[in-house]
Amino acid sequence: MTGCRHFLRDDDLSPAEQREVLDLALALKAGAVRRPFEGLPGGRRAVALIFDKPTLRTQVSFSAGVAELGGHPLLVDGALAGIGKRESVTDTAHVLSRQVAAVVWRTFGQDRIEEMAAVASEVGTPVVNALTDDFHPCQLLADLLTVREHRGELAGRTLAFLGDAASNMSHSYLLACATAGMHVRVSGPDGYHPDPAVLARAEEIAAVTGGSAALATDPVDAVADADVVATDTWVSMGKEEEAADREAPFRPYAVGPELLTHAADDVIVMHCLPAYRGKEIAAEVMDGPHSVVWDEAENRLHAQKALLCWLLDRRGAAR
């Protein structure tokens, strides 16, 4: 059996497939039982969880999720493995894909995970992007699941993302929300705007789903009547030396009580964490009645379980 489906960026799922995964996540959260590791070739039950970057929610949610589905989480320390240094990505992929049911990788360049997936396809082993510098698609599945739980149907809803609009989170919001038929606006200061190719792709998807995707440079315009306001740390992993330089230009994009007055009265606020209260989000917002941050964090578990079930059900299927 060769060929399989991977989840490397948000638009790897069609609108219908994204809905299937979210429907399954809701069912799993409600207590539906799935044992996708039963009947896999060679009795494989291990899932390689590779972490090249710091992690809390990703490590815990995937580890717990794989175990709850009947698999065995196999944690791989990226520093010890030295993928791309001690051993090439291609050689690593050949080794892992023959021994595990799936590979989950939190790494740097998008090219690394795409190379891993290209080799893993040869033996039908799905690869999941647990975060790269370009995208964070598993986080967005959890975010969309959270919006569905709190606001119902996703299509037609408006989500505003404020902060570093050039970040992986911004790119994933554009693609995932457009796929869901939502109206997504990303907003950040000059010099921190999304990759034009990603924005164009989101606009292309939205033209089919009935949603929209846009860059709104004014934060008030971005959150106007929004059903959801989301933010993230202003300084991504690996860019800590830029923290001082980012403080002033990003300050207008902080999510505080006054800014939320321009959003819908029942707006919900999300943050993928870790959060820095008093910077990108005010403490009274983070811990206030509009916040669904802890539901969002929990939903990483349910969304990723659903994604693994969905991918393992499609082993041998190439899109």
Q: What are the respective helix, strand and coil percentages of the chain, to the nearest 5?
A: 45, 15, 35
Residues recognised as catalytic: 106, 136, 139, 232, 272, 300
Q: What would the CATH number be for the domain defined by 10-135+299-313?
A: 3.40.50.1370
pLDDT value at residue 1: 47
Q: Return the exposure string of 41-54: e unless at least 16 CB atoms fall within 10 Å of the residue's CB, then b.
A: eeebbbbbbbbbbe
pTM for the whole structure: 0.96
Give the DSSP per-residue string, 133-196.
SS--HHHHHHHHHHHHHHH---TT-EEEEES-TTSHHHHHHHHHHHHTT-EEEEE--TT----H
* Half-sphere exposure at residue 184, Cβ-oriented, CA atoms within 13 angstroms: 35
Q: From 3.40.640.10, 3.40.50.1370, 3.30.470.20, 1.10.1040.10, which CATH number describes the 139-297 domain? A: 3.40.50.1370
Domain boundaries, the chain: 10-135+299-313, 139-297
- Asked, colleague to colleague, whether 10-135+299-313 and 139-297 share their fold, the answer is yes
Tell me the mean pLDDT per 10 residues along the chain, length 319: 87 98 97 86 92 95 96 94 96 96 97 98 96 98 98 98 97 99 98 98 98 98 98 80 84 98 98 97 98 98 97 76
